[in-house]
Amino acid sequence: MLSDASPLADGEAAGGMGPGGLRRWLSSRAPAPRICVVGSGPAGFYTAQHILKFLATGFLCSTPSCPAFLPEHHDLAQVDIYEKLPVPFGLVRFGVAPDHPEVKNVINTFTHTARSDRCAYYGNVTVGRDVTVGELQQAYHAVVLSYGAEDNRVLGIPGENLSGVYSARAFVGWYNGLPENRDLKPDLSCETALILGHGNVALDIARILLSPLDFLRKTDITDCSLAALACSKVKRVWLAGRRGPLQVAFTIKELREMINLPGTQPVLNPADFTGLENAVKDAPRPRKRLTELMIKTALEKHREKAVMAQAAVPRQWGLKFQRSPQEVLPTADGMRVRGVRMALTRLEGSGDSAKAVPTGDMEELECGLVLSSIGYRSLPLDPAVPFDTQHSIIPNNLGRVMGVPGLYCSGWVKRGPVGVIITTMNDSFDTAQSVLEDLQEGVLDVSVSKEGFGAVGSILRSRGIRPVSFSEWEKIDAAEVARGKAAGKPREKIVDPQEMLQLIGH
């Protein structure tokens, strides 16, 4: 669903006429626009890709919102991408589940962009610390912030910090080799795990916890997490959400994978789905198909369970609805989690807008592992950048940062942590279009040349920062692939940034 995006996805040949219409920039030469993108995940690369595509030969999209054309033909634009880690690709590398390699194929598109003569990658540079946003604005005509969501939402309930409670973001980062999570060491010695949340990330985690090891050994899951999962005692995973079956956020592909996972049995209560067949008759097709699959699974598996011994299936997973966590319960010594007290809820309203309201009834669910999958959130990057702390986004209008001309944003930091990679692609193209329009309309003054990395590189050298180039990343990539090949897997990720830097002689 995500891997077929390409630099020419709109159907136009380079220098040709696309279906949206293109107009050539005319007249005399002007200084090359220098544009900076902060963040090398999907939002950053898609933003860079779209800008480069339309500035490649002086072409600009002509749309109803972009009717005119620039009266000058610029020299070829330069886009520089900055990334705080030595390695690129953000959540494609660190968020996509290891058993979903087809989703990671989009890296091929990003690599094509990064290898362009008009694009440069500078890893190992933390914007806001090593170089400020203000300094980037001095060096570039436009700066696009695409740094994603570096934190997770918290439950805000007693016991949340007990041992055995982890955020989904940290757990996913651990098995995917995110350097900051490499020392997580989650305790998998219990039989029952509870995941709070009904999104795709929650299903990813449940699948990783219950997948046969032979499946995982063939993926790029990290060696240390594979070893920990080999010793895991977890054989039952519950996924709990505040609302009902019609409000789940996961998609049918992920649900089907979970239902068909070898050696596991879904445990869905048919009573949770009473009357829903009629309720979804007029629902959008994706919601209707998803609900029908849950109903079918609940009825089939309920019948199967009645005729087979429960012990015959080594592992189980299930969905619990209309339950809101109120407290993580500690063991007798007060150190570890032993369960979660949940408030039962009823729904007010219908569809996606339905609200969960506590009924006053409570229940306790015993578990030794709690994973909170209630969403990611972005953090402020630099005091010079406006930030909406309530919604954890940069306030913007079509990607233009409010009150700061020449500053833009794309991806999760622009709209919040929702959607899949294709959503981010479209969102990033929209921001890139705003940059192109502002170039075209003279909002961005390109009459004065900017030094770009020439200026930033001097600042970084003075502060003892040595960036990692894309060709240096490719050396790290080759080493990971070679290590993986020796172990019979696609790659063995290096999880220590210092080891990455030593590998390339930094």
Dump pLDDT digits (tens) for 233-280. Answer: 999 999 999 999 999 999 999 999 999 999 999 999 999 998 888 888
Say what the pLDDT of residue 108 is: 96
Report the percent of the chain where pLDDT is more than 90: 80
Strand 323-330 relative to strand 142-145, pairing: unpaired
Say what the pLDDT of residue 211 is: 97
pLDDT digits (tens, 9 = 90+) for 364-375: 999 999 999 999
From CA 355, how far away is CA 323, in angstroms rounded?
A: 12
Q: What is the DSSP letter of 41?
A: S
In sequence order, the β-bridge partners of residue 166 are: 371
The residue with greater pLDDT, 391 or 63, is 391
Residue 26: CB atoms within 10 Å: 11
Residue 60 amino acid letter: L
Burial group, residue 141, by CB count within 10 angstroms (0-12, 13-18, 19+): buried
The answer to whether 360 touches 345, Cβ cutoff 8 Å, is no
Supply the mean pLDDT for the chain.
89
The answer to whether 265 touches 316, Cβ cutoff 8 Å, is yes
Where residue 10 falls among pLDDT bands split at 50, 70, 90? very low
Alpha carbon 413 to its chain's center: 11
Say what the pLDDT of residue 269 is: 94
pLDDT digits (tens, 9 = 90+) for 99-126: 999 999 999 999 999 999 999 999 999 9
The answer, yes or no, to whether residue 87 has pLDDT greater than 60, is yes
Say what the pLDDT of residue 24 is: 39
CA-based angle 294:297:303, to the nearest 5? 145
**Tokens coding 316:** 């189980």
* DSSP secondary structure string for all residues of 189-223: -SSEEEEE--SHHHHHHHHHHHS-HHHHTTS---H
Q: What is the DSSP letter of 32?
A: P
pTM for the whole structure: 0.89
The residue with greater pLDDT, 46 or 26, is 46
In sequence order, the β-bridge partners of residue 311 are: none
Helix or strand (DSSP H, E) at 5: none
The answer to whether 325 touches 247, Cβ cutoff 8 Å, is no
From CA 201, how far away is CA 164, in angstroms rounded?
A: 18
391-427 in b/e form (b: 16+ CB < 10 A) is: ebbbbbeebbbeebebbbbbbbbbbbbeeebbebbeb
Q: Residue 70's closest CA among 479, 446, 503?
A: 446
- Least confident window among 14-23, 204-213, 266-275: 14-23
From CA 281, how far away is CA 289, in angstroms rounded?
A: 10
The answer, yes or no, to whether residue 314 has pLDDT greater than 60, is yes
Say what the pLDDT of residue 6 is: 35
Burial group, residue 505, by CB count within 10 angstroms (0-12, 13-18, 19+): exposed
The answer to whether 86 touches 501, Cβ cutoff 8 Å, is yes
pLDDT digits (tens, 9 = 90+) for 335-385: 999 999 999 999 998 888 899 999 999 999 999 999 999 999 999 999 999
The answer, yes or no, to whether residue 481 has pLDDT greater than 70, is yes
